Amino acid sequence: MRCGFFLLAILFYSCNSSPIQKKLSSSDSLVINFNVPNTDVVVKTVITTEENAINRLSQFVDSKSAEQFKCGYDGNMIFYSKGEALLPIVFKYKEAGCRHFLFELDGKLTNTAISNEAADLLQSLEEGKNTY
């Protein structure tokens, strides 16, 4: 009985996962680079293998669609699985009217919104606080 319930739960989860969650579900590490705004000059890099942090950021990326802004970027992040890059993402979070993640998924350029909570987390990571 327990085994059947467990298999049913896995099936339910896999059927209801978004394409982003499916892509990132095997992530075991994450690298976040913070740039001088609108440049490629990296001012801080945060690397984590902490499952909670990886899951939280992947959930933030998996948000509602956003318009395609043309206001530059504050950094990028790359989700990895066993050393292989799964999904590179650029982001803009410092400018309230322009917050978004941008990435290519299944050959399609995708923009998703950055919530206030996600922006606060990115800001705290850039400031060196490791609270997820």
Per-residue pLDDT tens over the stretch 80-128? 999 999 999 999 999 888 999 999 998 999 999 999 999 999 999 999 8
- Asked whether the predicted pLDDT for residue 23 surpasses 50, the reply is yes
pLDDT tens digits, 37-93: 778 899 999 999 999 999 999 999 998 887 777 888 999 999 999 999 999 999 999
- Count of all residues that appear for the chain in the document: 132
Q: What pLDDT is stored for residue 19 in this prediction? A: 84
Q: What pLDDT is stored for residue 65 in this prediction? A: 82
Q: What pLDDT is stored for residue 131 in this prediction? A: 64
3-state class of 89 per DSSP? strand
> Which residues 6+ apart lie within 8 Å of 84 measured at CB?
none
CA atoms within 13 A on the CB side of 69: 23
pTM of the model: 0.81
> Which residues 6+ apart lie within 8 Å of 53 measured at CB?
30, 132
Q: What pLDDT is stored for residue 16 in this prediction? A: 61
Do the bridges between strand 29-35 and strand 75-81 make them parallel or antiparallel, or are there none, so unpaired? antiparallel
Angle of helix 51-61 relative to helix 116-126, nearest 10 degrees, comes to 140
Hey, where are the domains in the chain?
Answer: 17-126
Element (H, E) at 87: strand 84-92
Q: Nearest Cα to 1, choosing from 9, 60, 36?
A: 9
Q: What pLDDT is stored for residue 14 in this prediction? A: 44
Q: Sign of torsion, CA 63 61 74 105?
A: negative
